[in-house]
Chain A
Amino acid sequence: MRKMNRRDFLKNISLGTAGLTLVATPALAGESQGKITGEKLPGKIRKVKETYSICCFCGCGCGLLLYSNEEDRLVFCEGYPDHPVNAGTICPKGNGIIEGNTVINKKRNRESNRRRVTKPLYRAPGSSKWEEKSWDWVMAEIAQRVKKTRDESFVEKDEHGVTVNRTTAMAHVGAAALDNEEIYLLHKMYRALGMLNIEHCARL
């Protein structure tokens, strides 16, 4: 008999791949292996949503399926079976990706990774601590500093009288962890400000 693979399984239960609802708690598969008795299972059944993603680590660009629960937390991740590069498999780092979002606590439940930064933070000159701030506040404060630094350093014409419209007092690094659309906006913003010092880790 032909061995049933995951895709056949999905076909057989007549489900599409978008917005798919599975009844399982794959994250707990290890625990339940070999001792599913029936009475323990129902309490752990969750509805999970499946989302296609691309791994956020190395440059292989592997396809992933991420499963999130009703509490909007990621609970499981696996390689996307139809992706030409990884064909359903996944490396340890890729497997750990969801821990950026949720981790397993001591009671073996999923909870948010508490190490995430969840509010804008500000550290004043000479201070030894962070202060939580609102988005409006940080955006306005940063905008004022950008304007001050730009305007104080802005050069409209160089020593040969050539129109240059530039500032070299601000710098940026980083982009390889962002999406293309984000980087494009970033590049436009910086060139509009007249910045020359734009770099990222392709140089490292």
Chain B
Amino acid sequence: MTNHFVDYRNADVILIIGSNTAENHPMGMKWAMKAKEKGAQLIAVDPRVSKSASMCHVHARLRPGTDIAFINGMMNYIIENDLWFKDYVLNYTNASFLIHPDYQCEDGVFSGFTDIDGKLSYDTATWQYQMDGDVIKKDPTLQDPNCVFQILKKHVSRYDIKTVCQITGTSEDTYRKVCEMYASSGKRDKAGCVIYGMGITMHSVGTQNARALCILQLLLGNMGIPGGGVNAQRGEQNVQGSTDMAMLHGNLPGYLGMVYANKHKTLAEYIEKETPTGYWSNKPKFLISQLKAWYGDKATPENDFCYDWLPKHDGKNRSYMSLFNYMDTGEVKGFFVAGQNPSVGGPSTIQANQAMENLEWLVVYDIFEIETAAFWKRPGADPSKIKTEVFLLPAAMSFEKEGSVTNAGRWMQWRYKAVNPPGEAKSDLWMFYNLFNTIRKEYQKGGKFPDPVLNMVWDYDLPGEEEPDIAKVAKEINGYEVATGNVLSGFAKLAADGSTACGNWVLSGYWFEDKDAKVPACKRRINKDPSGMGVFPQYAFSWPANRRIAYNRCSADPAGNPWNPQKPYARWDALAGKWVIPDVPDFKATEPAPNPSDPPIPVPPEKSAVDAYIMSEDGHGRLFAVKGLSDGPLPEHYEPYESPFRNLISQQQNNPMALTFKTGLFSKIAEIGSEKYPCVAITVHLVEHYQSGATTRNCPSLAEISAHMFVNISPSLAQKIGVKNGDDVIVESVRGQITCKAAVNGVCVPLMVNGKETEVISMPYSWGFMGIATGASANDLTPSVGDPNSNIPEYKAFLCNVRKANKS
């Protein structure tokens, strides 16, 4: 989220797309409803009448997997009708920047497409800016055909209302209403807020879906302002934190890219290749401080701070789906699972469970006997044939230990221990600390390259306590001065010479003491909102640097006057000669005085106006993405990998760069327009169950409220296959079949797509064979196809058939 939940209340228009906020983030919906009470217009774009859709002024249904067509069409409407926010776009986005004259998007494929022995990729040379020496060429009149604005205008011009609605199945009247309503936020005194969730990301074009929303928000000047933003509602208590902490193969903590063997042989080479301009020019400080935190005294300038002790990536895809493919091929032999339930929660679970049978050993840390730990006794499996050794380690629940978690609004919050864990259950901190201690003992006897194992800083003993010293861990994450051990106030203090240690630079400051509360920032609970705008600057810690609204320089015009004088955020007080802002500035508002003991000197608005998007190398919001995406600089509609239809907008049927598996267990895909599997299916959540249901299906009241696995089908489909509400049905895809109850209630209805009636069905995926409430797993049906950038599977558009189950 660029903004945060409470900030929704500052919006004038809210677009909820690909999210069922009312069900999945109920306390987020609370703030959308506060906005509604104050007169805001709410729009839901959803294939179903979700709980959220029922609370909005307008509900537009769309066929799953057609979001880009929908959003590009909105942009086209906005540009055609001259409703974009010109001052904002001209000053704060790259609209006027000139792109390489050879750039083009021809029939759904961008320039630079290469196919080398079946390995597809884009050479991005033609996606780059035209340069005049070190300066990007620009056309402030926005007339040059190679300027970003003209390229965008041309690109989205193909998405006229009629074409869009033929693709999405939305009624033209409703679509026009959505366009009009949301475009109204393009005025300088209006704020439009985009709320999205996994309905946007779980597609083979998921990243481009999110990109399309970003471009829409930039065009309307909705970024960096209160009541605006692109707000990804994260689905788990600490999925933000675990992403920040890089539990992803291609990163080190704090979004530092992983080191790759082919291009980062030495620290110098990594720094040379990975240090861009803009704020990321500080990257050497971040990486070296991290190495210092990890290897302590052993990390010196002479040995490149133990750079060679980091494993170097081999460049292969090692994302979630690929890991199960590597189990299938036998490369992965040992598997750890902590607080996740892949036997139910990942894609293609029939195949994923089969792949896990190849493991030599499996270690599961969990609070319940979840399906993953019990995969060897799943229905249909023969335990005697499964050779995998399984260890199930009893973990503590959130309130049986202490520590911090990061919510979707980037707030790091400390929670305390209420009770002891039951029996011999232990915190994960205890388990990881002691497991690695035990591993280190093994390596003291010898072994392959023991140096990083034996020298990793791992001294968290707390005398007299069984639990490790979590405060010491927190201090290491936050960063400290090596010589004194003093906790750093933030990442601005980090150095590249080994004098500072910091485990995760983006979180730096979270453990620094608040001057009023006298506790580390993440522990403070000062319920004060001095600006009255819902900022609560001293409640918890919002990374980075306790900033609540990202890119907040953009809430004011280049001269520092708030776009909306009624809701000022950043404001240059010309009389006093300083910035006034209720938040931490996301721009250079002051600079250090020549004499360090003097107060910092305010920086006038003209200076920060030229790079208001400080994290972007060119300092501007990118309508056109010159880098960072593997599948194109602009979002282009492709059909989902499994689709009943040919692509209407181009000859290119699917995202050419999508992650797929050509052979093996995970290669099963239904053909385009399959008659055998005619329904478009999505998976969804219910308010009573959390993710795979591993926890909530073991909580009696939640299991009782929501006891049965079901599929939502339309009344017309129910009639066609001869079932009533509550009857058992079989849902089948090319990957498998499940039996569950039919819910026939109008949540799903068929959509008219290009003249053809298309049934849409939805299934919660929170059931499995363990727990109090058991039921079939929807993921037995889902495909192993993913977005090329995020590698997130396409759960939100795949093909199924539904038929009546025979009574046994």
Q: In the docked arrangement, what's the CA distance between A22 and B247, Å?
A: 41
Q: B residues within 8 A CB of A100?
A: 367, 397, 695, 698-699
- Is there contact, CB below 8 Å, between A113 and B698? yes
Mark each residue of chain A from 70 to 103: 1 if its CB lies under 8 Å from any CB of chain B, else 0.
Answer: 0011100000001111110101110011111101
Q: B residues within 8 A CB of A143?
A: 435, 438-439, 441-442
- Is there contact, CB below 8 Å, between B333 and A169? yes
B385 at the interface (CB under 8 A from A): yes
- Is there contact, CB below 8 Å, between B247 and A186? yes
Q: A residues within 8 A CB of B366?
A: 117
- Is there contact, CB below 8 Å, between B236 and A59? yes
Question: Quick one: which of A54, A116, A144 contacts B425, CB cutoff 8 A?
Answer: A116
Question: Quick one: which of B235, B245, B419, B441 contacts A187, CB cutoff 8 A?
Answer: B245
- Is there contact, CB below 8 Å, between B338 and A178? yes
A24 at the interface (CB under 8 A from B): no
Which one of A123, A125, A172, A176 has the highest number of Cβ atoms from chain B below 10 Å of its Cβ? A176
- Size category of the A interface is 35 or more
**A35–chain B nearest beta-carbon distance, Å:** 23
Which one of A84, A103, A142, A158 has the highest number of Cβ atoms from chain B below 10 Å of its Cβ? A84
- Is there contact, CB below 8 Å, between A99 and B699? yes
- Is there contact, CB below 8 Å, between B332 and A197? yes
Q: In the docked arrangement, what's the CA distance between A52 and B212, Å?
A: 40
Q: A residues within 8 A CB of B417?
A: 51
B616 at the interface (CB under 8 A from A): no
Q: B residues within 8 A CB of A196?
A: 249, 258, 311, 313-314, 318
Q: In the docked arrangement, what's the CA distance between A77 and B539, Å?
A: 21
B173 at the interface (CB under 8 A from A): no
Complex interface residues of chain B between 440 and 487 (CB less than 8 A to chain A): 441-443, 447-449, 452-453, 456-458, 460, 470, 473-474, 476-477
Mark each residue of chain A from 143 to 179: 1 if its CB lies under 8 Å from any CB of chain B, else 0.
Answer: 1111101110110101010111111111111111111
**B474–chain A nearest beta-carbon distance, Å:** 6
- Is there contact, CB below 8 Å, between B383 and A62? no
Known: A54-B415, A145-B361, A203-B790. A162 touches B312 (CB 8 A): yes
- Is there contact, CB below 8 Å, between B360 and A96? no
Q: In the docked arrangement, what's the CA distance between A167 and B696, Å?
A: 36
Known: A122-B390, A198-B247. A97 touches B399 (CB 8 A): yes
Complex interface residues of chain B between 307 and 333 (CB less than 8 A to chain A): 308-314, 318-321, 323, 326-327, 331-333
**B64–chain A nearest beta-carbon distance, Å:** 17
B88 at the interface (CB under 8 A from A): no
Q: B residues within 8 A CB of A180?
A: 238, 241, 244-245, 403-406, 412, 477, 507
Q: B residues within 8 A CB of A113?
A: 422, 698-699
- Is there contact, CB below 8 Å, between B401 and A179? yes
Known: A119-B424, A143-B435, A197-B249. A128 touches B383 (CB 8 A): yes
- Is there contact, CB below 8 Å, between B310 and A165? yes
Q: In the docked arrangement, what's the CA distance between A51 and B398, Å?
A: 12
Q: In the docked arrangement, what's the CA distance between A54 and B420, Å?
A: 17
Chain B's closest residue to A144 (CB) is B442
- Is there contact, CB below 8 Å, between B318 and A199? yes
Complex interface residues of chain A between 186 and 203 (CB less than 8 A to chain B): 186-189, 191-203
A9 at the interface (CB under 8 A from B): no
B599 at the interface (CB under 8 A from A): no
- Is there contact, CB below 8 Å, between A84 and B383? no
**B323–chain A nearest beta-carbon distance, Å:** 5
Known: A54-B398, A74-B419, A178-B339. A183 touches B331 (CB 8 A): no
Which one of A85, A130, A169, A200 has the highest number of Cβ atoms from chain B below 10 Å of its Cβ? A85
**A160–chain B nearest beta-carbon distance, Å:** 7
Which one of B392, B457, B536 has the highest number of Cβ atoms from chain A below 10 Å of its Cβ? B392
- Is there contact, CB below 8 Å, between A172 and B30? no
- Is there contact, CB below 8 Å, between B399 and A53? yes
Q: In the docked arrangement, what's the CA distance between A128 and B702, Å?
A: 30
B525 at the interface (CB under 8 A from A): yes
Q: B residues within 8 A CB of A30?
A: none
Known: A96-B702, A179-B238. A126 touches B384 (CB 8 A): yes
B705 at the interface (CB under 8 A from A): yes
Complex interface residues of chain A between 57 and 75 (CB less than 8 A to chain B): 57-63, 66, 68, 72-74
Known: A117-B367, A126-B387, A197-B318. A166 touches B312 (CB 8 A): yes
- Is there contact, CB below 8 Å, between B339 and A174? yes
A115 at the interface (CB under 8 A from B): yes
**A199–chain B nearest beta-carbon distance, Å:** 5
Interface with A: B20-28, B69-77, B276-284, which one?
Answer: B20-28
Q: In the docked arrangement, what's the CA distance between A96 and B371, Å?
A: 21
Complex interface residues of chain B between 216 and 262 (CB less than 8 A to chain A): 233-249, 252-253, 258, 261-262
Which one of A72, A86, A92 has the highest number of Cβ atoms from chain B below 10 Å of its Cβ? A92
- Is there contact, CB below 8 Å, between B700 and A99? yes
Q: A residues within 8 A CB of B265?
A: 162-163
**A169–chain B nearest beta-carbon distance, Å:** 5
- Is there contact, CB below 8 Å, between A164 and B429? no
Chain A's closest residue to B451 (CB) is A165
Q: In the docked arrangement, what's the CA distance between A141 and B691, Å?
A: 31
Known: A177-B238, A183-B242. A188 touches B406 (CB 8 A): no
**A87–chain B nearest beta-carbon distance, Å:** 8
Q: In the docked arrangement, what's the CA distance between A185 and B689, Å?
A: 29
Which one of A74, A99, A103, A174 has the highest number of Cβ atoms from chain B below 10 Å of its Cβ? A174
> Can you list 12 pairs linking A and B with CB atoms under 8 Å apart?
A51-B416, A72-B419, A117-B395, A121-B391, A143-B438, A158-B314, A172-B336, A176-B237, A187-B246, A187-B253, A193-B452, A203-B320
Closest 6 CB pairs of A and B: A118-B423, A61-B407, A179-B403, A177-B339, A174-B340, A59-B234
With contacts A61-B413, A113-B698 known, what are 19 further pairs, Cβ within 8 A? A51-B417, A54-B414, A85-B27, A99-B699, A101-B397, A116-B425, A120-B394, A128-B383, A149-B333, A160-B262, A163-B312, A174-B365, A175-B242, A175-B340, A176-B241, A179-B238, A179-B402, A201-B320, A201-B345
